[in-house]
Amino acid sequence: MLFDLRPKSRREEIFDREKEFKELEKSVEMYPMTLILGIRRVGKSSILRAYLNENPGILIDCRELYAESGHLTKEDLIRNLQSKAGLLNKIMSKFKISVNLKFLTIEPRELSLREIFKELNKIGEKTGRFIIAFDETQYLRFYGSRGGRELLALFAYAYDNLPNLRLILTGSEIGLLHDFLKITSYGSPLYGRLGGEIIVESFNRKTSLEFLKFGFDEAEVEVNKEEIKKAVELLDGVPGWLVIFGVEYLKDRDFEKAIRRTFEVARGLVIGELKELKQRSPRYVEILKGIALGYNRWSLIRDYLKVRGDRIPDPRLYALIENLKKMNWIVEENEIYKIADPVVATVLKD
Ligand SMILES: Nc1ncnc2c1ncn2[C@@H]1O[C@H](COP(=O)(O)OP(=O)(O)O)[C@@H](O)[C@H]1O
Ligand SMILES: [Mg+2]
């Protein structure tokens, strides 16, 4: 069912994205490590889950792990891996193999992640390869006390020594993820280790229209073409928003109400995300508001903040704007800034 709010987990449920699937398959074949990048709600987790449904591997949701306790420790990660025992057994019975996974029965304190990766690599020896996927990987910078450096060393170890393991890392905050992995900085554990990159983009207009049409056809509901067009104009091509609109429309078959409800839901989600952003710096949210309201050049943003009583030093403003780009909240084109997701822009305006 297309109009279902959960991330999809089977390939047949995913609309379009054949190209991304092929790229992912090819990249996993070629590289020990693959990144899946794109703004929130564009469909990264859905693609990843569908891929893991067809390939032996496990998924670790870093955002969820982080949210549980506000930080990440080795024990958190190991417990999470241990909680996947059922899945691991299922994979082994599907491939008719048996690997003694000692890590499942040992106290996390007495284990090292390196040992666990080695044991999972053994499954990979039998099945061809084994995937360890981290969803929203940029949260791993909160691992341990050194910005996750130990994990980078672990990834580098796996990259070099465990030929049957494959890492897949997704990230909504692309620049932050790159900063965390530091593949291009000399002295970083992962330095020089190339990976594949799959960029998941929003749907273009045509695909967005087809997406909605397909969803309504599937639900056997006839919807006026003009309304579908209007919805795409308002919501653009982020599949997560289109799905919410579809679900809401099916409830009462009332276009205005469905759009209103979609923005209400969007507001709730975006406000939560802005809260998290505000904790990093309250200025981020002010800058985003300014940009959403049309103060979309460097000097205009500075003026906008000034009028609101914030005389921000230029280098500071520069750094914050760079970070917002890295976090994928905004995009820049010819020195003009734009909120990356038009629905987020609408929410910010009021
Ligand atoms: N290609 C797609 N086909 C069908 N549904 C999709 C597609 N992409 C995303 N969705 C829907 O949009 C929502 C957001 O997708 P998700 O995979 O969670 O995005 P991300 O991980 O990038 O934030 C999910 O509820 C999912 O149902
Ligand atoms: Mg996701």
Residue 269 has pLDDT above 90, yes or no: yes
**Average pLDDT of 54-79?**
93
Structure token pair of residue 53: 């449904």
* CA 197 / ligand 2 centre spacing (Å): 16
What pLDDT sits at residue 276?
A: 87
Asked if residue 215 has its Cβ within 6 Å of ligand 1, the reply is no
CA atoms within 13 A of residue 294's CA, in its CB half-sphere: 0
Summarised one tens digit per residue, pLDDT across range 300-336 is 999 999 999 999 999 999 999 999 998 999 999 999 9
Amino acid at position 61, single letter: D
Exposed/middle/buried for 132, CB within 10 Å: 0-12, 13-18, 19+? buried
Q: Which atom of ligand 1 is nearest to the CA of 49?
A: 17
Residue 264 has pLDDT above 90, yes or no: yes
Residue 187 has pLDDT above 90, yes or no: no
Asked if residue 40 has its Cβ within 6 Å of ligand 1, the reply is yes
Structure token pair of residue 135: 């969803």
Structural domains in the chain plus CATH codes: 11-199 (3.40.50.300), 203-278 (1.10.8.60), 281-350 (1.10.10.10)
* CA 135 / ligand 2 centre spacing (Å): 6
What pLDDT sits at residue 71?
A: 87
Asked if residue 302 has its Cβ within 6 Å of ligand 1, the reply is no
Summarised one tens digit per residue, pLDDT across range 133-180 is 999 999 999 999 988 999 999 999 999 999 999 999 999 998 889 889
Q: Which atom of ligand 1 is nearest to the CA of 15?
A: 3
Q: Give the pLDDT band (50/70/90) at residue 49.
A: very high
pTM greater than the 0.85 cutoff: yes
Asked if residue 239 has its Cβ within 6 Å of ligand 1, the reply is yes
Asked if residue 41 has its Cβ within 6 Å of ligand 1, the reply is yes
What pLDDT sits at residue 174?
A: 87
* CA 51 / ligand 2 centre spacing (Å): 14
Amino acid at position 101, single letter: L
Task: Please report, rounded to a whole number, the percentage of residues in the chain having pLDDT higher than 70.
Answer: 100
Q: Give the pLDDT band (50/70/90) at residue 283.
A: very high
Amino acid at position 348, single letter: L
Residue 245 has pLDDT above 90, yes or no: yes
**Average pLDDT of 344-350?**
93
Q: What are phi and psi of 330, to 5 degrees?
A: -130, 160
Cross-sheet strand order for the sheet of 57-61: 57-61, 130-135, 165-171, 33-37, 196-199
Asked if residue 15 has its Cβ within 6 Å of ligand 1, the reply is yes
Please, what is the end-to-end C-alpha distance for the chain in angstroms? 33
